[in-house]
């Protein structure tokens, strides 16, 4: 579950960073708990173990010739890593993200269950980028954040997708919103995404989340160049409903954001969604790199799917609903391409 727009600066002790072979980032993170201090891997809700997930994702490289990259490695945590897979062909691309928060397991499991549909789309020539478990430490532990079991961010937890140090401030737009990334894995992930967006401009982004505090139903967020007028969002709502997922079609979120036909595209004051997330980064028309304002990825559509994951809800139903979306990526891509507006990715 994402949070409402707010400016936050978390300053952490610097990490020791070295370059691994192949350009992958290997980090010894001083704030991460040692492997011996971690609980046993959490699978009580039926989620697949990380080893099983990554084994399935590695089939993209083994069977389909995709390129795999290690974005970040936690040496202190048994060599857990953030990994990405992408097609060898580049250009305006479909991006699929999941697992930003570790207590939201449906997304990574749905991607693993839907690789056939994704590779079929890629085989038609559509470039695809997948970062299926953005927060492997938290996924392993059923935590929200990578550095603490405490869900309350006031206690020091931070998001691996926090991009505020790359995004313009909300008042003047003349400086970065935050002074630094909150953690070294955050810096690695958001920096990787911003760099890769140059050769794989995000035309359509699907980010799979869950909301464990919503008992009334799910919803989607819509950002990007076509945030308010998206046939893609409407189709995703239809697919979730057809899969039997209860949705909130009207009203407001607990942050005051209006829900219109199951979709949130405006904040509580009627402005665009500005939450400092990796989704805002992929939608941003301008970003800050090395202190300079530069053009951003400017995705046409960034859709965040939020399935309700309150206590007692069944993981298999949530995975099935998110899989129903992913199994229609060909149609979602077609609808996104058909939208009028700016050129691919910009």
Q: Is the pLDDT of residue 144 over 70?
A: yes
* E strand or H helix that includes residue 18: strand 16-19
Spatial strand order of the sheet with 80-86 comes to: 16-19, 25-28, 67-74, 80-86, 128-131, 93-98, 202-211, 301-308, 219-223, 263-264
| Beta strand pairing call for 25-28 and 67-74 | parallel
Residues sharing a CB contact under 8 Å with residue 265, sequence separation 6 or more, in sequence order? 221, 222, 223, 227, 228, 233, 272, 273
Q: Is the entire prediction scored with pTM above 0.85?
A: yes
Quote the percentage of the chain above a pLDDT of 90. 78
C-alpha 312/C-alpha 209 separation (Å) is 17
List the one residue out of 54, 40, 53, 36 whose CA is nearest residue 142: 40
C-alpha 333/C-alpha 209 separation (Å) is 20
Residue 142: helix, strand or coil by DSSP? coil
* Domain boundary assignment for the chain: 55-338
- pLDDT band, residue 346 (cuts 50/70/90): very low
Q: Is the pLDDT of residue 187 over 90?
A: yes
pLDDT value, residue 243: 97
Residue 46: exposure state from Cβ atoms within 10 A (0-12, 13-18, ≥19): exposed
C-alpha 32/C-alpha 82 separation (Å) is 14
CATH number of 55-338: 3.40.630.10
With tokens 């699978």, the residue in question is 43
Q: Phi and psi at residue 288, in whole multiples of 5°?
A: -110, 125
Task: For residue 166, give both structure tokens.
Answer: 């790359």
Average pLDDT, the chain: 88
In contact, 298 and 284? CB cutoff 8 Å: yes
pLDDT value, residue 2: 52
List the one residue out of 62, 61, 148, 60 whose CA is nearest residue 103: 148
In contact, 135 and 163? CB cutoff 8 Å: no
pLDDT value, residue 343: 45
Could you tell me which residue, 38 or 5, shows the higher pLDDT?
38
Q: What is the DSSP track for 252-306?
A: B-TT--B-BTTEE-B-TTSSBP---SHHHHHH-SEEEETTEEEE----SEEEEEE
Q: Is the pLDDT of residue 279 over 90?
A: yes
- pLDDT band, residue 16 (cuts 50/70/90): very low
């Amino acid at each position: 579950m994402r949070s409402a727009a707010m400016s936050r600066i978390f300053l952490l002790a610097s990490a020791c960073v070295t370059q691994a072979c192949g350009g992958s980032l290997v980090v010894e993170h001083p704030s991460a708990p040692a492997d011996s201090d971690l609980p046993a891997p959490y699978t009580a809700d039926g989620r697949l173990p990380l080893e099983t997930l990554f084994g399935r994702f590695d089939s993209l490289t083994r069977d389909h010739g995709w390129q795999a990259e290690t974005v970040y490695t936690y040496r202190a945590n048994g060599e857990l890593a953030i990994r990405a897979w992408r097609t060898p062909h580049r250009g305006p691309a479909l991006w699929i993200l999941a697992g930003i928060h570790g207590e939201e397991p449906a997304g990574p499991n749905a991607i693993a269950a839907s690789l056939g549909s994704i590779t079929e789309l890629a085989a038609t020539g559509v470039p695809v980028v997948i970062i299926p478990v953005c927060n492997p430490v938290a996924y392993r532990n059923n935590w929200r954040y990578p550095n603490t079991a405490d869900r309350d961010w006031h206690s020091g937890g931070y998001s691996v997708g926090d991009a505020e140090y790359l995004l313009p401030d909300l008042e003047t737009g003349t400086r970065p919103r935050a002074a630094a990334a909150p953690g070294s894995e955050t810096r690695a992930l958001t920096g990787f995404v911003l760099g890769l967006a140059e050769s794989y401009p995000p035309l359509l982004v699907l980010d799979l989340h869950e909301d464990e505090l919503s008992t009334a139903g799910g919803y989607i967020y819509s950002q990007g160049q076509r945030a308010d007028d998206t046939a893609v969002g409407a189709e995703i709502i239809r697919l979730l409903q057809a899969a039997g997922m209860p949705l909130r079609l009207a009203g407001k979120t607990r942050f005051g954001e209006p829900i219109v036909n199951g979709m949130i595209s405006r904040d509580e004051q009627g402005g665009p969604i500005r939450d400092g997330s990796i989704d805002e980064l992929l939608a941003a028309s301008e970003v800050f790199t090395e202190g300079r304002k530069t053009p951003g990825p400017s995705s046409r559509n960034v859709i965040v799917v939020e399935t309700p994951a309150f206590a007692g809800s069944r993981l298999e139903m949530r995975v099935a609903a998110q899989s129903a979306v992913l199994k229609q990526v060909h149609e979602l891509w077609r609808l996104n391409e058909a939208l009028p507006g700016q050129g691919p990715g910009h």
